Amino acid sequence: MQLEIKAGQDTESLVAFITDQLPDQALDSVDVKRELEDAEGLATEPVTIAAIITASGAIVATVATLVAKWLEGQRQAKTIDLLIRGYKESPKAGDAVLALAKTHAGVRVTSADLK
């Protein structure tokens, strides 16, 4: 089975997360083909814009679970970053972002008054 993965500029990060999480025995039976963005004369490393993972059905199911885990981690990291930026702006802005995060992101945040 094949699974195509596209996560924009984060595709390589996602592929690295998947390959790091798979046990060595499973990884031995996985084939990863990367589609690289053409850098046209730039002196930078190529950027992975897509990846095709070929593996057995059971391993593809595990990969799909890992993708979901990675996406949840990304969502949580963005929420935390937004909270930090809000509180740096002002306590009122931070509280507003916290209320949004609790309502829309399903995030549980506990805080303590550190005065």
pLDDT for 95 beyond 50: yes
Q: What is the pTM of this model?
A: 0.72
Give the pLDDT score at 105: 61
**Residue 43 has what DSSP assignment?**
S
Tell me the CA distances in angstroms from 2 to 32, 58, 102, one per residue in order: 10, 12, 37
Distance, CA of 11 to CA of 108 (rounded, Å):
28
- Between residues 48 and 42, the one the model is more confident about: 48
Residue 106: band (very low, low, confident or very high) from pLDDT cuts 50, 70, 90 = low
Q: What are the structural domain ranges in the chain?
A: 2-104
